Structure 1
Amino acid sequence: MPTWLAFALLALTFAAVATWVSRRLLDTPVGWVRSLLISLVVFSLSIPLVLWMLEQSHVWTGGKFVVALPIAAVIVALVFGWVFAIVVVVIVVSEFLVPTRPLRNPILVIRDAIRRRDRARRYAQILVIASRHGIGLYQNRSRGYSDELPDALLGAINEAGVTFVKLGQVLSSREDVLPPQFIRALSTLQMDSTPIPWTEAESAIRHELKRPLDEVFASVDQTPMAAASVAQVHTATLLNGKRVVIKIQRPRARAQVTTDLDILERLAADAERRTEWARDYGARALAAEFARALREELDYRVEAANTEMLRGAIDRSKSPPLNIPTVYGDLSTSRMLVLERADGIPFSRLTPDALPPEAAHAVVDGVVDSVFEQIAVRGVFHADLHAGNLILAEDQTVTLIDFGAVGVLERSVRRLLAPLLVAIANDDDVSATDIVLLLCAPASGGSVEQTALQHDIGAILTRIANAQVGENVFSALIDVMRQHRLAVPPSLLLVFRTLISLEGSLRRLVPDYDMVGRGLSRAPHIALQLASPRVLALGLQAQSAIAAEQLRRLPRRIEAITQSLQDGTFQVRVRALESADDRRWVDSILGDVTATIVGVALVATGFFLAVSDVGPAMTDGVRVFSFLGSVLGLGGMLLLLRSLSGAFRRRAQ
């Protein structure tokens, strides 16, 4: 057999065995290709060194073994064992520097490549828009920005499209995050947009209906009554003569939103890794919540469900009812909504002389009473009460539209919200402060100076009590919470923001309307509804049942404890290591620590034996103690490598 062929077969055999043993020893998903290549390279480079060592040990001379074959085989095995150890070291180092990644599904690879292309294209568009509006040029050394930056940001967001407009609208309600200048600028964001051509809208409607339009509608107005970045609305008449509106989603809106949300979530994650403020405010959680809400808003089935949920809450209300349009569920899909047309004039188009003063006050009082009851009693409320979403009919009733954003306030918060309203109405700063501290925890685990907080809240309540037209107490409370770094629950923040928006809408009809005063005057009525005899009786019944069940089980538990104490079998379980995963984690660490200690001991012992020059000789150049030291050192090295691999695995997890 030719020498080169024998060498190649030996190299391949060594590489295959070394790769298999390395993967088993390291217990990590190291790639076969990488391990084979490393084994072949190390083996090829180590052959001259191996031959030199065998010659120095007087085992191999002149191209042949000069000692007994068993002794030669043992020494050669030891030498190649050290070569194998070098292979494992190189594999571990390469795995640490460039971890092995599993082969991915080609379809997923192509899809991710398309997404990266879309993200890159969108990044470029956003950078061009930001540059066009001069964002980044408006700097101020004292504050970090100039007075022109909020307006520049507003223009850039309007041009960037639906996702960023929606994000701006959400951020306009986060007084705890942004300065007042930015809040005022973002509060003016609108979703108006250029409508898509009728041919494109008709094609989208027909696609959702799965049939021609004339099989469902007697007529459809080709000119949209409203157009936004996500959808546009057309008026229509059903075959039975009922007047409806069709809310159809723009065909390309969802794709753009998907790309933008991907970008926002990546930017939030990167910001949390790099900046402390992003970690303090939970940028990733905020981005994830915004993405979830916007994806739901793109699914009109969610909006239809929100509409019915709010209708149920209003039907059970004891305040003057607000009208909710009927949803035609059999004609609605995830991208199209067909609902009853609300006749009347939006509050955005009203003027102060639209109604006589008494009638105007009656209308806005009814809206406030209903909304406050929705929030504080029912816990379900329209969360986007800007002037365009309130419609005043000829009979002076009010209809709500656009239910993409509906807030849900849990009962535990509602139980505190009603007393907070009562405390504000009574100018009780002590109670109001206590309730605020129950509702809001200090941000980032800090502490709150309660005396200073009470002083600031008391100043607000005093101003509210003595002003002829009260300022918006909810906006003032948000400012105080922000100054004292209190983490406001998102649901409560949404309530405050909704009421702030509602006040602006109602003042279109009554310019000097005191919504806060009207709402606070209803606080005792709301508190009575929450504390009605029926509610108290049901709550008492539930708590009594729980207490009774606990009392029923108490004697048996006491008996079990006393019996175990008497038998000497009483045990205390540590929950920190209760799960199997926790125990395996501790076992792995203890095993690696033990292997490390033994490995270090073996390497140290092997070193001292290997350098010793005493003891019987195996060959002219190798003594038995030196040989045993090399064996012990090799075993210790392999143990250390396994411990190091375990540390790498835990780091990756």
Structure 2
Amino acid sequence: MYSHLEQFPEHASAVLAASATTDAGSWLGQILSIGFFVLLLLGLGVLASRMMGVPFNAPRLAVAGAIGVPIGGAASILLYLGSTPTSPDFDPERLAGPGFVALMSLAMAVAAMLAFVALELALPQGTRLRPVAAARGAVLWFKRIGRYRRIVWILARHGLWGYVTRRRDGGEDASTQRRLARSLARSMEEAGVVFVKLGQVMATRRDLLPPVFVEELGRLHNEVAPVPSARVREAVERSLGRPLDEVFADFSAEPLAAASIAQAHLARLTDGREVVVKVQRPGVLPIVQRDLDIIRRLARRFHRGTDWGPAIGVVDLAEGFAEALLEELDFEVEAANIAAVAGATADSPVRIPTVHEAYTTREVMVMERLHGTPLGGADLSGSDGGHIARVLLDCLLEQVMVGGIFHADPHPGNIMLLDDGGVGLLDYGSVGRLDGQTRESLRMMLLAIDRSDAVLLTDTLLDVVDDAAGVDEERLRRALGQFMARYLHSGATASMRMFTELMLIVTRFGLSLPPELAAVFRALATLEGTLVYLSPGFDTVTEARRFAEGRMAGELNADNLRDAAMAELVAVMPTLRRLPRRMDRITEQLHKGRFTVRVRPFAHPDDRALLRRAGQRAVLMVLTVVTGLMSVGLFNVTEGPDVVWADMSARAQVLSIAAWALLAASGLMILRLLIGITKVGAAARAMDT
């Protein structure tokens, strides 16, 4: 190429030097252009951060620049020439002017700034991208999809999918309700352990479900095959961290009972004490967690897409069930429950098995063996059923009223008639807890029912419900008065069903009792069936009154009253000491006519901040509309058919730039409003969780 220059060395050197100078100038110009663009991008990024109210972030700005450069370049060519490089009338020579360079730089920077804001909207700063967690989540999602298909197929096969996806008016006749309840029970039994337990819990909610559903779901049972003895031994050794022979002198291979969550084996410790070993079924925890996640998701869908979901509080029901079931899977929690209940009823004749804490873990629990027969299979011919029933009722009421922690599922399978004539209470995976204030409210409710005092019962209910705003208290009082007249008049046979009716009244008025208080009524209703089985005709309400009167009589002696009065006097003493001075000050101001009341509606900083943000958004919205309309008006003045930027007059170009600037400002203000709304929604979700 340069062969002819070899004859003229001096001329060749000059040409090469000029070429190198030109290349260096070209490279320098490109570097300066890139530097100018980077500085412009940084400046606009800082401006966008200020205007949008988001923190400045250099990596996000780099990503936004990579997005904005090609988009802005293509947009600038289209705006400047009115055609694309593939058009036949495209003229690249017209792109060499300084006007196009300025327009292209501005378009790239604006596109990058819009991309920066879009990234903030899509992925707010603080969002952590975790590829490994995302991959694991995708795998779990695919597994969940398979489980969803299985559940949908079960529902569809039993004719229930229409009740899940469509709103029903609840006008079905009795035979249709019976068929629907039976289909629901069969579907839950087929879906597995978690859904069976959910159905069993729903069967106790007489306040939420019709009687036919309670009846059908109450028949649910989950028969499972026992885990092979080799796997049980392996699970126990792994959980205890030592060989089985170091702990047990004898370990029965055949299970005493096999359930869906765990199974029990008889054993003998090395010191000779007989025990029962409760072993969690291997691999049950991941299955339970997966199905609980599905139940939560289905509950949220039912809440949004059906009319019956919000009415029964399906989301709260699912959350409460999930919490209770996960607690049941932790045997250390159950051991703590047993110790707490035993401490609360230390004087009760009801036996509670002692837990050997040294051999208890999350998956294995070793407890004292009680010799006897479960109540469901016991022969009651030679037993005093009435006495046993009173002992059980007194034990549960003492747990509720005095200890504040009680057995929440006292069905016949958890009650054992001991060989020595005593009674044992088993399985403390599900317990209820009451704080002192709730126990006092429960006492007041029972006192109001005992006295047939509708006013006191209304006041007590409104004190304990979650949200009493907007309730028609007079209508509620009349409804409770009618309830008492129906159940508590002379000659009426009271039963624990009256508490179910009471919960239905509360639900009908849009109220909801605290879950722990509803658990008390459910436990009493569950126990009543057992008590009637032990002693036909057993009057649970009368016996509960007997217990309450005896307890109150013991608490109302002179010493207890004096101690209670002294405690209350000490609590109110500071207020009583300040009261005379405050009364004197008030009367003096009234006498001088200077008594005033100051009201500060926006005294709290959060209230003022809320009002300030609302005002700013209103002004921003007005400015957005005004600037948008102004840009449209200027476009109508400057734009014409087949007119491109290069052919416009200087005045038209200025007006066109102003129109585009107003349009960009309007777009930025819209983005600012969107980011503000997004932040408010994220803050609300954070508060909810």
TM-score (norm 2): 0.77
* Aligned position for 2:518: 493
Instruction: Select 1:152's aligned residue among 183, 191, 194.
Output: 183
Q: Distance in 1 between matches of 2:162 and 2:111?
A: 56
> What is the CA-CA distance between 1:255 and the residue it aligns to?
0.7
Q: Where in structure 2 are the equivalents of 1:351-362 lying within 5 Å?
A: 351-355=379-383, 359-362=384-387
**Match of residue 640 from structure 1:** 666
2:73 is aligned with 1:47 = no
Most deviating of 97-106 and 282-291: 97-106
Mapping of residues 248-327 of structure 1, within 5 Å: 248-275=279-306, 277-315=308-346, 317=347, 320-327=348-355
- Note if contact 1:602-1:636 (Cα within 8 Å) is conserved in structure 2: yes
CA contact (8 A) 2:471 2:509 kept: no
Q: Is residue 2:365 matched to residue 1:334?
A: no
Structure 1 residue 131: deviation in Å?
4.2
The letter of the residue matching 1:227 is: A
1:390 aligns with 2:418: no
C-alpha distance in 2 between matches for 1:348 and 1:7: 93
Query: Deviation per CA, 1:117-161, whole angstroms, max 9, x where unpaired?
Result: 221222223233334544448999832854222122222222322
Structure 1 pair 93–500 and aligned structure 2 pair: CA distance change class (3 A): same
- In 1: Cα distance, 2:469 partner to 2:30 partner: 63
Q: Report sequence identity in percent.
A: 31
Change (3 A) 1:640 1:392: same
Q: Which amino acid aligns with 2:370?
A: A
C-alpha contact 1:221 1:235 (8 A) present in aligned 2: yes
Match of 1:81 in 2: 106
Secondary structure in 1 matching 2:224 = coil
**Aligned counterparts, 1:135-214, within 5 A:** 135-136=160-161, 142-143=171-172, 145-214=176-245
Alpha-carbon displacement from aligned partner over 1:502-540 (angstroms, at most 9, x marks no partner): 121223322332222211222222334565666655554
Deviation of 1:162 (Å): 2.1
Give a deviation string over 1:26-62, Cα, whole Å, max 9, x none: 4357675465234312312422532569xxxxxx997
Deviation at 1:384, TM superposition (A): 0.8
Residue 365 of structure 2 aligns with an amino acid whose one-letter code is L
Change (3 A) 1:622 1:515: same
| Secondary structure class of the residue paired with 2:516 | helix
- Distance of 1:484 and 1:573 partners within structure 2: 34
Deviation readout 1:93-127 (Å, 9 max, x if unpaired): 79768989956212211221222122122222323
Q: Which runs of 5+ in 2 are unaligned?
A: 1-21, 84-90, 590-596, 639-645, 680-689
What is the letter of the counterpart of residue 325 of structure 2?
Answer: L
Please give the alpha-carbon distance, in whole angstroms, between the structure 1 residues aligned to 2:78 and 2:158. Answer: 67
Q: Distance in 1 between matches of 2:364 and 2:353?
A: 15
The answer for the alignment partner of 2:431 in structure 1 is 406
Cα distance change, pair 18–554 in 1 and its aligned pair in 2 (3 A)? farther
The structural deviation recorded for 1:201 is: 1.0
Counterpart of 2:77, as a letter, is: I
Q: 2:130 aligned with 1:110, yes or no? A: no
Tell me, yes or no, if the aligned pair for 2:628 and 2:662 is still in contact at 8 Å. yes
Specify which structure has the bigger relative contact order, considering alpha-carbon pairs within 8 angstroms and separated by 6 or more residues.
Answer: 1
Q: For residue 172 of structure 2, what is the amino acid of its counterpart?
A: R
Change (3 A) 1:526 1:604: same
User: Counterpart of 1:235 in 2: which secondary structure?
Assistant: strand
Letter of the 2:391 counterpart = G
SS in 1 for 2:359: coil
Shift of residue 354, structure 1, vs aligned partner: 3.7
Q: Does 1:460 align with 2:486?
A: yes
The residue type paired with residue 515 of structure 1 is: T
| Change over 3 Å in CA distance of 1:404–1:471 after alignment to 2 | closer
Describe the shift of the 1:231–1:594 C-alpha distance in structure 2 as closer, same or farther (beyond 3 A).
same
Amino acid at match of 1:44: A
With 123-132 and 370-379 compared, the bigger mean Cα shift is at 123-132
Provide the TM-score with structure 1 as the length reference: 0.81
Helix, strand or coil at the partner of 2:276: strand
* Cα distance change of structure 1 residues 391 and 518 upon mapping to structure 2, 3 Å threshold: same
CA shift for structure 1 position 91:
6.9
Deviates more, 1:550-559 or 1:525-534: 550-559
Q: Tell me whether 1:366 sits opposite 2:391 in the alignment.
A: yes
Residues 391 and 606 of structure 1: is their aligned pair in 2 closer, same or farther, counting only changes over 3 Å? closer
- Written as runs of structure 1 = structure 2, the 5 A alignment for 1:584-599 is 590=615
Counterpart of 1:57 in structure 2 is none
Distance in 1 (CA, whole Å) between partners of 2:319 and 2:27 is 60
Partner of 2:538: 513
Aligned 8 A contact 2:327 2:333 in 1: yes
Tell me if structure 2 keeps the 8 A contact 1:150–1:182. yes
Which shows bigger deviation, 330-339 or 544-553?
Answer: 544-553
- The secondary structure found in structure 1 opposite 2:366 is strand
CA distance in 1, matches of 2:131, 2:93: 55
Deviations 1:416-441 (A, max 9, x none): 32343344445555655554454446
Letter in 2 for 1:41: I
Query: Residue in 2 aligned with 1:616?
Result: none
Cα separation, 2, equivalents of 1:513 and 1:440: 31
In the aligned structure 1, how far is the partner of 2:425 from the partner of 2:521? 19
Equivalent position SS for 1:323: coil
**Residues 443 and 487 in structure 1, CA contact (< 8 A), matched pair in contact too:** no
Q: Alpha-carbon deviation of 1:290?
A: 2.0
1:126 aligns with 2:126: no
Secondary structure, aligned partner of 1:487? coil
Assess if the C-alpha contact under 8 Å between 1:303 and 1:404 holds in 2. yes
Counterpart AA for 1:143: E
Partner in structure 2 of residue 69 of structure 1: none
Give 1:39's aligned amino acid.
Answer: V
CA distance in 2, matches of 1:116, 1:607: 47
Unaligned runs of 5+ in 1: 54-59, 67-71, 564-569, 614-618
Q: Is the 8 A contact 2:302 2:314 kept in 1?
A: yes
SS at match of 1:222: coil
The farther-off stretch of 32-41 and 166-175 is 32-41
